[in-house]
Amino acid sequence: MKKLLLFLLLVTVVGQNRANAGTIDFTTVDALSYRYYLEQKWDSVIYIGKMALNQSIDYYYLRVRMGLAYFARNEYIPASVHLKKARLADPADPVIAEYLYYSYRYTNRNEEARLLEPSLPKETLAQPGIKSGLFNQVSAESGYTFSSNQSPEGKPDLMKHDSLYGETDLYGNYIYEHLGLKFNLSKRIELNLGYNYLNFSKTKYIQYARWEDHFEGTADSAWGTYYRYSYPRVTYDTNFQYHINQHEFHAGLSIYLNGGFRIMPAFHMIHVSYPITTARVSFQEVQDTGYYIAATKQWVFFPFNRTLYTFDRRDTSFSNYLVSLALSKEIGRFNLGISGSWSNINNRKQKQVGMTLTWMPWGNLNFYSTTSAIGFFQKGGNRILLSETIGTKITPWCWGEASFHYGDFTNANIMNGSLVYNSSDVIDYRAGANLYFLVGKHLQLYLVYQYVKKESQTYYYTSGSTSGEMNTQLKTELVPYHFNTIIGGLIWKF
């Protein structure tokens, strides 16, 4: 209805000024946009402005009025577009610089905001948290993961009916710690540093089988004594508990290149240490008594190979590396990003390329959607990995976010290499929900929940020759389990 009344008013005004009312002229645009601007009828200002721009009527005050109208409606992305146009015509206007500065700040375009600091009014620069220094922010978080794979109790047999040996590594509960620092190296460059520590509780669960010589008794006869044996297949199991200690270091740059372009190189190092338990099999020949011949007083023996298992334990450690590069471009209410990385994770080399599209339909961070697709390339298997994240403002001080990652992310990375999935188990999918709480101008608290569906790998060997030697052909089977993770954290912005 409002647009209809505005249209009728425009037709009336244009009809009074022009005999042929096929277009809107500059005088009408300037008069109506200024009038609605004074009356704070922001929808009307934007409607008039769009009509004018569609007819190539474009000038400084129109851009100012449209930018301030969008700002008043909290649509900071289109506000920044029009205010930037206005500032090109008058770079010395501190009011326009201030509104443009906050438009960038409220949409996390921090580098562009810092470039405007020299143009801000003195009273604005004097406010806390406006003028940037070396330190940007510090963050810390801690979490605990509960695993359904914690204990071998209740697990199915590791071996098949014809197997000799089977083993699996069970991922149990683990703790996670993170510390992050962000620095402003210049107006255009941010440096992000992060340290992660993880401590995994694991169990090496082993089953093995062997044929054993069990003495059953004797039987007397006219010629002597016969010794009876059975040779059952006996299965044993054992487990060894241990911990994996993992230290990670991540460094990344965000460089603003003008025109909404950013380039982001990053490096990630992972150092892992843990004890390895190795099973060794050997054979011991024993002489079992077969029978006794009374006439000759002779004992007759026969050989039997007993299978022996021993378990050696030794410490090991290694480091993995990842380098990545991402490029993003702001296109109106969208942000388009492409990325690529190279890594050597778990004795394999990986390459991946990805594309990310973020959409902010309301022109601010009150609602956004991020969709990403990754092509993962590793010898022995290439994959397509998909992710979706949706965030929304719940209250003036609380934001919520939900995410879903589909595909086997084992040995892959997300967020430009800041998060690496170097677990040896297969990942089916991951889902999560986050809550962010604003506590004053500087402090932000958040709570994270994650659910991960995974599959552990069971290795077993089938029986070999009649001598009982193991066949070297390795077979595997996947057993499903899941993780539930709770993380709490804080961010302090300087």
Let me know whether 420 and 276 are in one domain.
yes
CATH classification at residue 180: 2.40.160.40
Q: Per-residue confidence at 463, pLDDT binned at 50, 70, 90?
A: low
The pLDDT of residue 384: 97
Let me know whether 256 and 391 are in one domain.
yes
CATH classification at residue 96: 1.25.40.10
At residue 71, does pLDDT exceed 50? yes
- As a 3-state breakdown, the chain gives helix, strand, coil percent values, each rounded to 5, of 20, 60, 25
Let me know whether 119 and 141 are in one domain.
no
Let me know whether 107 and 199 are in one domain.
no
Please choose, from the candidates 490, 425, 432, the residue with its C-alpha nearest in 3D space to the C-alpha of residue 458: 425
- pLDDT tens digit sequence for 357-378: 999 999 999 999 999 999 999 9
- Domain containing 58 equals 2-125
Higher-scoring residue by pLDDT: 9, 37: 37
Higher-scoring residue by pLDDT: 27, 152: 27
- pLDDT tens digit sequence for 191-226: 999 999 999 999 999 998 888 999 999 998 888 899
Let me know whether 112 and 139 are in one domain.
no
Mean pLDDT, the chain, as a whole number?
A: 89
Using CA of residue 8, residue 12, residue 17, residue 20, what is the dihedral sign?
positive
The pLDDT of residue 494: 86
Cβ-in-10-Å burial (0-12, 13-18, 19+) of 329 comes to middle
Let me know whether 194 and 327 are in one domain.
yes
Structure tokens at 370: 């991020």
**Domain contains 87:** yes
Domain count, the chain: 2
Let me know whether 223 and 314 are in one domain.
yes
Let me know whether 110 and 224 are in one domain.
no
Please choose, from the candidates 237, 232, 228, the residue with its C-alpha nearest in 3D space to the C-alpha of residue 212: 232
Higher-scoring residue by pLDDT: 9, 442: 442
Let me know whether 328 and 348 are in one domain.
yes
Query: What pTM does this model have?
Result: 0.84
